[in-house]
Structure 1
Amino acid sequence: MKNNHLFNRLPYLFIVFLLFSLSASAQVGIGTTSPTAQLTVMEDAIFNESGGNHDFRVEGNTNTNLFFIDGSADAIGFNTATPNSQIQLIANNSTGWITQWDNNNNDGGLARFQHSATSNGSRVLMGTTNYNASAFEAAGVIGLSLNGTVTGTGGIGVIGAANNESSNAVEGQLAFTGAYTGYAGYFNADVYSGGFYYGSDRRLKRDIHPLNNALSLIAQINPVSYY
């Protein structure tokens, strides 16, 4: 029985022997007899269909965890083996943009982020910066409208919209506890608006001093009527 058992395993042992004997330039094809890489798969591929607690990792030239799937956390990590969210990307000290999205076609939007649940009050997209100096004026979010000429028209760098009359389409906030020198909004050109509303919050005022002789100042008012 032992001899028959060993005999039945000979084909498998032979395959293992071939795999270990092949050089690094050997190529294996699944669904093809003409592989073009060390492993070529011509049809669909499924990993971990049993739903087990198994990870999947792709290593780069210098990055051990260039792409990592954490099976136990159901999360995907780029440059990390311990993603803290469903998808997490960690920079690898390279210069330039960490991610870049380009659309060279004449149609189609580039990216869309959306909350479909009406009860979800979380942010859809947030940009933050932890810069604590003033040399570069790092922006959390920036929008650019690019045109081939400086006289182009119709471009919008950033647009804010609300579909009801009780919301704020665009809101700017400046964090402060006392006197401040910054602005909740800054524009270096003309601003068009359908109306202005001035807040009366004490936090929005500075250099507050008592007004003396208020009654004498009121007495100097010369009211008139005209048609």
Structure 2
Amino acid sequence: MNSIKIFFILLMTGTSISAQVAINTDNSAPDPSSMLDVKSVSRGFLVPRMTQAQRNAITNPATGLTIFQTDIISGLYFNAGTPAVPSWKLVGSNTGQWINNGSNIYYNLGFVGIGTTTPEATLSVANTSLSGIATAGSFQIGPSGTYNLVSDNNEVQARNNGAASTLYLQYWGGDINACASGGAALFNGPVVMYNNLTAYGRIGIKISPNYDLDINSTSYTASNVYSPYNGGTASQVIAGGTTTGTWAFYAYATTLGYAAYFSGNVYCTGSYLPSDEKLKANIQPMEKSLEKVMQLDVMTYDFKASEFPEMNLPHDKQNGFTAQNLENVFPELVKLNPAKKEQPVDFKAVNYTGLIPVLTKAIQEQQALIEKMQLKIDELEQTIRIK
């Protein structure tokens, strides 16, 4: 205790000495490197405590002057500047150090590396199953020499040893939701597909795109584009073309299926079919059309709309033929439509447009018979007049 008494007496009298001072309870000598050596296992060293305003009011604070600030960002502060130009620093928040603020921790300068001693981006994460390459100011996952993921202010890219790589979203399934401003764009549902986007704004699904939207399906049982039923009056697909020689909607298919399938009524203001003679071969006159037409059974009927709701069949009275009857006479005008996901029943369809030439020829044959009979009637009438 004598050492403590001597220390406080010297402080109170302002006496200046050039010796080391030890404050302790075991009478141990001070450390040779120190001017003041305070030792305790039950008490701490208490520095002056004040607010930020009180700290800033200190006149000509000495370089290294230390206080504990009690408000704003509390902590131990020291003057890293000069008495004339103070620069108060929070201990633990200098350049190269992290700053603690309540439950937050942040860093102002340099790069942060997790799993690497040479970070190449603001945050670099290495030694993971995914890895990346980055430029300064971007975000990277993984080292530069293998697979990696990198992003900057407006893009995300997958890389492999400095070259482009494939980026998958939900590769093993699951939903993907993406909303544009105001929620105008939404993508939702299990996704297993690969896309190609070009610098020309083209999108390709399972194909390198040659058109604005290019879709290629390798399975004959799969639908390329599926738009589910929806209420209201909005159109599900809108296509427009204003330049001569362009198509608003263009579809083609092989003989294995239809170019288009519509479940419901179709309305159009006009239609054309290719009929140029230079496109045709084996041109032969049609014969016995009237005889064949007489074999057709013209019916009135109702569709089983409630039994097949997914086909959106008409509910009003219909006039026409059965496909089976028409197939017996004109098999080329009937086609089997196999069952599909959105239409789980196979059925036969009729090409009513193809009947127009048949009926035209039947009328011509009937007219020829009428004219022939009329000629005989005229001859009989002439004979009667002579007698």
TM-score by length of 2: 0.29
Give the structure with the higher percent strand.
Answer: 2
Larger Rg: 2
Give the structure with the higher percent helix.
Answer: 2
Give the number of the structure with larger relative contact order, counting CA–CA contacts within 8 Å between residues 6 or more apart.
Answer: 1
